[in-house]
Amino acid sequence: MVNTKINLCGTEIDNPVIPASGTFGFGYEFAALYDINVLGTLSFKGTTLNPRFGNPTPRIAECPSGMLNAVGLQNPGVDKVISTELPKLFKVFDKPVMANVSGFSLEEYVETVRRLDTVERIGWFEVNISCPNVHGGGMSFGTSPEMAERVTRAVRDVTKKPIIIKLSPNVTDITAIAKACEAGGADGVSLINTLLGMKIDLKKRKPLLANKTGGHSGPAIKPVAVRMVYQVYDAVKIPIVGMGGIASAEDVLEFMLAGATAVEVGAENLVNPYACRDIIAALPEAMEKYGIKNLTEIIGGAH
């Protein structure tokens, strides 16, 4: 009998598979398809202080072995998430959930986390620091170790719940960002967010996405993600949530051997809405195939 349980920042969950924010809505939408309580947990749609309509269309583009998206953090704002979206989720999901938070200033991150902190069923905060800091010349929080540490410290001051900082791969050295987050009090890091990409419309002779650039996700980015998880594991002592092109139970094992404690499944949910359920169901057989009795024993096992 294999054991798929893992401990994520102090909370034991049934398995390491988590739908990634932005690819699973607020969760309850998928409950019409299958019992989402099979999930380890879920990271619900990225939430900002104020409502956001998102970017103009087109904002999705297919590409070989993946996709580009420039949705632009469309969400109803934190107050509506608390009053409307989370009650719907809690009717169909009985486990702690992960709140994905985005912001455009230090103050927005802090206030959004402060309001969500009142929701008892939120077990972790996943703080997305790859959004532009418009109060700092447009620089992204996630591309500067100093800014990454600042936002981590600021959020740390308003919650006692575990904070997992979501890192951007669009940097020269992701380990420097991860170390800064650890120094700022992060309980964990999640990586990688999407890689910056572009697609040109040959007929119109201009970028296909209205935003011009978008985030590249899917199987094509998996080797980059595995490499970065491996590097960050050697650089920090806090847990890692790995993501980037995960589509099978074998992918889960690969990320855990690289150093991930848990994983997030993103683009695959948009291709196959049953992806997370199917990966979880296949995990015990994959573990037996590779002689793994307890998942926690293989974390960082490739080092």
181 is catalytic: no
Name the catalytic one among 9, 131, 181, 276. 131
Of 82, 89, 80, 113, the residue nearest 39 (C-alpha): 89
Q: How many whole angstroms separate alpha carbon 121 and alpha carbon 195?
A: 31
Establish whether the linkage from the previous residue to 58 is cis, with ω within 30° of 0.
Answer: yes
β-pairing, 214-217 vs 66-69, is antiparallel
Q: Hey, what are 226's tokens?
A: 């595995």
Of 88, 67, 64, 85, the residue nearest 76 (C-alpha): 85
Q: How many whole angstroms separate alpha carbon 195 and alpha carbon 302?
A: 25
257-293 in b/e form (b: 16+ CB < 10 A) is bbbbbbbbbbbbbbeebebbbbbbeebbebbeeeebe
As annotated, the active-site residues are 131
